[in-house]
């Protein structure tokens, strides 16, 4: 299951539970839907997916599904409950990051009544700070390193899981 696709989207999530149910009905794989306001570039999600896939390959996974394992890495958290609280879909959310492990992009967008907009995945200092990067770190390294600081937290999950 190393094939995946990362997509940004806009719309309105009025009922996260129903949105998850619609995603679960899609054939041919699974989808992880995240708060795009905390995603610092496509590289953020690519790294999370690669770490999650590697953890399954090496039988070091903490979760039973690739989507939940990916959620841990994307959030920089060790516990699923904290990861979901930080990055999961919420009522009223309008910008989503989607990681597709199989399903067709158009089917996913239609199921959630979203429009593709990859610009919601772009990195920014504000997103990095919302993600949990310390302002002191940001000041020390400079705003151009915001994405690197988030990627560091993704990689750090391997250490947290031990």
Mean pLDDT of all residues belonging to the chain: 94
- pLDDT for residue 162 is more than 70: no
Residue 22 lies in a domain: yes
Q: How many domains does the chain have?
A: 1
Residue 161 lies in a domain: no
Here the CATH number for the domain that contains residue 100 is 3.30.2380.10
161 vs 28, higher pLDDT: 28
Mean pLDDT of 21-36: 93
Query: Shortest CA distance to 147 belongs to which of 162, 137, 160?
Result: 137
pLDDT digits (tens, 9 = 90+) for 125-138: 999 999 999 999 88
**Longest Cα pair distance anywhere in the chain, in angstroms?**
47
Range of the structural domain that residue 25 is part of: 5-156
pLDDT digits (tens, 9 = 90+) for 41-66: 999 999 999 999 999 999 999 999 99
Separation CA 49–CA 44 (nearest Å)? 9
Residue 162 lies in a domain: no
Mean pLDDT of 28-49: 96
pLDDT, position 2: 67
Residue 30 lies in a domain: yes
Tell me which DSSP letter residue 6 carries. Answer: E
For residues 132 and 76, the answer to whether their CB atoms sit within 8 Å is yes
For residues 11 and 112, the answer to whether their CB atoms sit within 8 Å is yes
> Left, alpha or beta for 76 (phi > 0: left; psi -120 to 50: alpha)?
left
């Amino acid at each position: 299951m190393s094939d995946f696709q990362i997509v940004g989207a806009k719309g309105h999530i009025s009922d996260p539970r129903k949105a998850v149910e619609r995603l679960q009905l899609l054939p041919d794989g699974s989808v992880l839907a995240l708060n795009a306001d905390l995603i610092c570039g496509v590289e953020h999600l690519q790294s999370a997916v690669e770490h999650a896939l590697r953890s399954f390959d090496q039988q070091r996974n903490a979760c039973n599904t690739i989507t939940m394992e990916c959620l841990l890495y994307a959030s920089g958290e060790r516990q699923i409950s904290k990861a979901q609280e930080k990055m999961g879909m919420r009522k009223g959310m309008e910008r989503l990051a989607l990681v597709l492990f199989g399903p067709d992009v158009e089917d996913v967008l239609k199921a959630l009544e979203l429009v593709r907009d990859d610009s919601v995945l772009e990195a920014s200092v504000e997103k990095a700070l919302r993600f949990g990067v310390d302002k002191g770190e940001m000041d020390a390294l400079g705003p151009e390193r915001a994405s690197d600081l988030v990627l560091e937290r993704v990689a750090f999950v391997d250490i947290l899981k031990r």
